[in-house]
Every structure is written in C-alpha cells, then in structure tokens.
Amino acid sequence: MNTLDAVLVWRALAEALGPAHGIDGGLLLAIIAQESAGRATACRVERGFWRRYGAGVVALVRRTVSRLDDRWLLYPDFVSASYGLAQVMYPVALERRIALRDPTDLCDPETNLEACCRQLAYLLQRVDPQMSLLPATPDRVLRSVLQRYNGGGNPDYAQRVLDWRAAIAERLSVTRT
C-alpha cells in the first residue's frame, strides 16, 4: 500500500476530530503522512530529547495526578519517543492532559490524533489566538505552527506537510470525479 492510501484509511477519524479543535482534517492527514506514513504503531526514540529535556520531563511526570506513570521514568527511551500516527511524544500528551496508562497508549489512533489536535491548538494559541487551522489560515501562521509542532529541527518540515496536504487534496478531488 502506498503512503497516500495508508494515510487515507484515517480520513474519517481526522475529519471527525480535527474540526472539533478548529483544525482541518486534511492538515491532520498531511501530518500523518509526514510523521508515520499512516502507521498507527510507528515509534521513534528521540534520544537527543531526553538529553536536552530529561530533567523537565521528570518534573512533569512527577507532577501528574497518577503515580503509576512515574515507573516510566526508569525507561528514558519510552518517555522520549514519538508514537503513533502523528508521532506525539509522551511528555507532550501529558502536558495536553491526555489520559494514558503508558506511552504506548499513543499508538491508539483516536488517542494519538486527539493529542495531536490539542498540541496544534496549543501552538496556535501562542502564534495567533484569533485563528484556527481550518483552510483559511494564513500561510505564515500555519507554517509557524507546523515548525513548532516538529520542534524546529527540520527547516523543511512545514513545506513537506503542506506538500502532503496538496497531494491528499488532489487524490480526494480525483476520487470524487
């Protein structure tokens, strides 16, 4: 199965969750394409993240209501990994108040996209509180949110997501005709 086909499997979910947060479902699909190629169980360890932010992550996890999540601090690779369709990190999900038993709960597509939507909405509030990430979003705002979603490490990230968004829109328009 090619990437577009693998991503479009998640269309109904993206179109259901995205607009509830002011986020275009097509944008969510584009993020899925870029981040996981549509694989719900994708996982990538981010060792540089732990080296840079480990102390802050420890403090975050210890502040959560549940003490059960403290055990994951024994496994930095689990805590500092990106999970699922939108490659959401465990600390990000905790910050956005996603209820998780363990980091791999982020491999559940609905949980993952909910966390992604909350993170995008959070980032948007820091860039332009008056906007939403629906199709009318000005390009500069959208690019800024996407770069922040990626952590800024890849200067081409926003353009790659926008290229995927265009490819998905084109595929959907061809399918409709």
pLDDT 10s digits, 96-155? 999 888 899 999 999 999 999 999 999 988 887 776 676 767 788 899 999 999 876 789
pLDDT at 177 over 60: no
This prediction's pTM:
0.88
Structure confidence by residue, pLDDT tens digits, 22-45: 899 999 999 999 999 999 999 999
Which residues contact residue 135 at a Cβ distance below 8 angstroms, ignoring those fewer than 6 apart?
A: 24, 26
Q: What percent of the chain has pLDDT over 90?
A: 57
| Residue 62 confidence (pLDDT) | 81
Half-sphere exposure of 29 (CA within 13 A, CB side): 29
